[in-house]
Amino acid sequence: MAVDSTIVKSNVTIPAQVVQVIAFADSGWISASNTINNAIVINHSLGAIPTFVSVMFSPDKVVAYSCTRMWSQKNDANPVTIELTSTTITLNLVRSVPLFGAWKAMEPDGVWTHWNTGYFRVCATK
C-alpha cells in the first residue's frame, strides 16, 4: 500500500541570522493490521533520506505511542524494519506479531496490552 505524505516547508531564522528551509513530511494516520506480511510505503518529496523520523502507533487515533524499539515478554513488535530512501519511507510489518504492545505500569501488578490492528503515523524531516 503506498501513501503520499503532506509536505510543509517553513523558513526558520537561526541565531546567526541565516535563513534555512526545513521540509517536513507527515503521513497522517494509516490503517494497518498484522494478518499478512505487509509493507506500508509512504511517498515523500523531501529530496533526501530523512534525517529525523518519528513513527507513532495508535489503536484508535485518540491515544498514540512512540514506536521506539521495545521489549515484550513474548514478541517483538511491528514495524520490524523501517526503510528510508530519498523518496519513500517503508514500514515492513510481519504477520502474527502484534502491531504494538504497551506496558501499563500504573495498573495493579502491571499489564501488557497488544494490538493486532490500529494506525501508524510517520513524520520526517531532512
> Superfamily for 2-14+25-125?
Immunoglobulins (2.60.40.10)
Residue 6: the pLDDT is 57
Instruction: Answer yes or no: is pLDDT of 2 > 80.
Output: no
CA distances from 13 to 7, 16, 123, 125 (A): 19, 8, 22, 17
pLDDT digits (tens, 9 = 90+) for 101-114: 888 778 777 788 88
Residue 90: the pLDDT is 96
Could you tell me the pLDDT band of residue 115, with boundaries at 50, 70 and 90? very high
* pTM value surpassing 0.85: no
pLDDT digits (tens, 9 = 90+) for 13-34: 455 444 455 788 999 999 999 9
The grid coordinates listed for 15 are 541565531
CA-wise closest residue to 77 among 64, 96, 104? 96
Residue 10: the pLDDT is 54
Residue 91: the pLDDT is 94
Q: Which uninterrupted H or E stretch holds 124?
A: strand 117-125
Residue 9: the pLDDT is 55
Residue 61: the pLDDT is 96
3-state DSSP of 54-88: EEEEECCCCCCEECCCCCCCCCCCCCCEEEECCCE
pLDDT digits (tens, 9 = 90+) for 58-110: 999 999 999 876 555 455 678 888 999 999 999 999 898 889 888 877 877 77
